[in-house]
Amino acid sequence: MNSHNHLDAQAALAGARAVVRRVDFRRVVLFGVIALAAPGVYYYLGGLAARGGQRIGVFVSIGACFVFGLLAVRSAANEVARMVRARGGVAPANVLRWIITLVGYLIVVIEVITLLGVPVDRLLVSTAVTGVIVGIAAQQSMGNAFAGLVLLFSRPFVVGDYITLRSGALGGQYDGEVTAITLMYTRLATEDGPISLPNSGVLAAASGPRPNPKDTPKPAVPVTRLRRVPAVSKGRRAR
């Protein structure tokens, strides 16, 4: 038992060392430290009220927070996507990279706007109102996007599975092989041809795996032997 625990600890330590040695991980640490230290330098120099050479240092710290913050977010998104791709596939990795990048960029932009002295409360109120309007207008698209995220992470089926979907919202039953799971649609290869189904309807549908007809061996057709008819000689034909 102790030997197994020792081997598990060694494997975990080797995995941690491999992660630390990756280029993206080192960039995340380096760029993140610089981006977090820049606001400290900003406030140490006196902020926007600084005069003379200190004012130049203030704007340099703001630029450093913006640039290195974006680089840190990008490196973190790449590193997380690489880890997820090794375990969950390409589609969840791309979605997770997109989410981390969007949220991280938003945080960096809000921090830079705060350092520039822009009233963030008014900006957030106007952004919230705009978001509500856009959300109402794109309600169906947002529903498909969130349903796509649920399908990618819960994984009731994966690409390559032959499934059956039953849903009144989708118009009945669909049998086919899953060829792609995107953020908006799930694509099936059916007997009638390829079809794209909205993820919100797929998530609400009853689904289940089925054996692929292509993999089912066809029953062997019995071969009937032809009986040979004996040849009639010319003498018998003349008679």
Domain ranges across the chain: 17-137, 157-209
β partners of residue 166: 173, 206
Q: Which of these, 154, 140, 161, lies nearest to 215 by C-alpha position?
A: 161
Residues of the chain with pLDDT under 50: 1, 7, 12-13, 16, 19-20
User: 158 CB contacts (<8 Å, ≥6 apart)?
Assistant: 89, 178, 181
Say what angle helices 90-115 and 53-88 make with each other, to 10 degrees: 170
Which pLDDT score is estimated for 228? 58
Q: Is 143 helix (H, G, I), strand (E, B) or coil?
A: helix
User: 48 CB contacts (<8 Å, ≥6 apart)?
Assistant: 55, 58, 116, 117
Which pLDDT score is estimated for 66? 92
Which pLDDT score is estimated for 222? 57
Which pLDDT score is estimated for 69? 92
Q: Rounded to an integer, what distance in angstroms lies between the CA atom of residue 150 and that of residue 156? A: 9
Q: Rounded to an integer, what distance in angstroms lies between the CA atom of residue 121 and that of residue 128? A: 10
Q: Rounded to an integer, what distance in angstroms lies between the CA atom of residue 128 and that of residue 181? A: 30
What is the CATH code for 157-209? 2.30.30.60
**Where do we find the tokens 């059916």?**
190
Q: What is the pLDDT of residues 66-82, one digit of tens each?
A: 999 999 999 888 888 88
Assess contact for 199 and 144: CB atoms under 8 A: yes
